[in-house]
Amino acid sequence: MTLVERFLKYVSFPTTSGEDREGKCSTDGQYVLAEELKKELSELGLTDISSNEYGIVYSTLKGEGNLTIALLAHMDTSPSASGENIKPRIIENYDGTDIELSQNIYLKPQEFETLKDKKGHKLIVTDGKTLLGGDDKAGIAIIMTVLDELIKENKKHVNIEVIFTTDEEIGTGVHHVEMDKIHAAYGYTVDGGSSKYINKSNFNAINMEVTIKGRSVHPGSAKNKMINANTYAMIYDHSLPQFERPEYTEKREGFFHLCEMKGSEEEVHLSYILRDFSKSDLDHRCYIAKKTAEEINHSLGYEAVEVTLIPCYNNMEDILEKNPQVIKRITDAYKSLNLDYEFEDIRGGTDGAQLSFRGLPCPNLGTGDYNCHGRFEYVDVNEMETMVKVLKQMLIK
């Protein structure tokens, strides 16, 4: 099978993740793809192939020497768009113009700037009705092709562990990766955009729940008696830095984001996410959140506002700085192929960030997949081919 044949095969498996389920992965379709991948890994000649109750697939390609490197990709696709009945279309030699996905649905370089440097490339697009599934089946196809070529070309390579995960898109799958089944010194998730991006930093993340307790009295006789929790919820939110919100921030700027508010005069619940690249900036953000509550409580004379902070995930940058060989190995591969690379900060979290803190330093690499999670998703086959070369170069001895 070629790289493109593999990709087309994997996207034909519906693997949209859904609501979290106890003791298994969120949707049965992921198990079906897991079984197929286990079969393919076995046909390629990998060993120690297994999967757990959450559908996570483990396997090994024995190489030479003591070093083992892990490659990871996720099997599920985002629940934000349909992943059923995907009808991919190959554009052999993209001419740089608007692409009609289906009647009146266009993928335009004017709206999606990444298309502007794809002229002459081979692209795969959707029919405008579903997502493509390149996130992260491009990663799976790249990894499978790397294994296939290393074996066929009889190249001397390090030991390789391949792990295909489930439920990445709903953030739960990575918790079920069993670290004692992984022997690699470090790894790489192959899950992202441009093939020239290396992601070695991501947000530090804290979730915050705020409860405002008011005093409800009939509005007709409320004078000097009612304390409306809705009013104090608005005061609380407006007392936080107004322009440190997702809609006003970019690059390495952090934010407070109010995700949900619900309640009535008696009690209101506000759910926030707090994000920063630097730990000390995030600590300061938490301080402001608590200080704001204290000041409102002081003015009201009772504990009206209660703030609960829930640590979520951390920036893997610290771990990768302590293990410089991880980034060096991949940048050396780019350099020896005369390819440019750039470091890109992820304004979110990755499975690799979580694994980094559980003992497997794990930056993320691109796949050539763009506009993920929607019907304008497309992959650049030329970039997927580039990543096959980069990964092979990194793994050979």
Catalytic pick from 76, 136, 276, 369? 76
Catalytic pick from 40, 161, 168, 344? 168
Residue of 396, 385, 375 lying closest to 106 (CA atoms): 375
Cα–Cα distance between 365 and 198 in angstroms, integer? 5
Q: How far is CA 163 from CA 112, 169, 192, in A?
A: 32, 16, 16
Contact pattern from residue 122 through residue 151 relative to Zn ion, giving x for each residue in contact according to CB under 5 A and a dash for the rest: -------------xx---------------
Question: Residue holding tokens 């619900």?
Answer: 262
Cα–chain-centroid distance for residue 33? 20
Q: How many residues bind Zn ion (CB under 5 A)?
A: 3
For Zn ion, give the closer residue by CB, 158 or 353.
353
For Zn ion, give the closer residue by CB, 136 or 276.
136
Cα–Cα distance between 367 and 72 in angstroms, integer? 12
For Zn ion, give the closer residue by CB, 171 or 263.
171
For Zn ion, give the closer residue by CB, 124 or 307.
124
Write the DSSP symbol of residue 21. B
Is 76 considered catalytic here? yes
Q: How far is the CB of 376 from Zn ion (least distance, A)?
A: 16
How many residues does the structure list for the chain? 397
Q: How far is CA 225 from CA 27, 154, 219, 316, in A?
A: 51, 81, 10, 50
Q: How far is the CB of 366 from Zn ion (least distance, A)?
A: 11
Cα–Cα distance between 26 and 52 in angstroms, integer? 14
Handedness of CA 343, 346, 352, 357 (dihedral sign): positive
Q: How far is the CB of 89 from Zn ion (least distance, A)?
A: 22
Counts of helices then strands in the chain (DSSP H, E): 9, 18
Question: Residue holding tokens 């559980």?
Answer: 358
For Zn ion, give the closer residue by CB, 254 or 349.
349
Q: How far is the CB of 164 from Zn ion (least distance, A)?
A: 12
Contacts of Zn ion in 170-209 (CB under 5 A): 191
User: Does 369 help bind Zn ion (rule: CB under 5 A)?
Assistant: no
Q: How far is the CB of 369 from Zn ion (least distance, A)?
A: 8
Which residues belong to the active site?
76, 168
- What is the contact surface with Zn ion in residues (CB under 5 A)? 135-136, 191
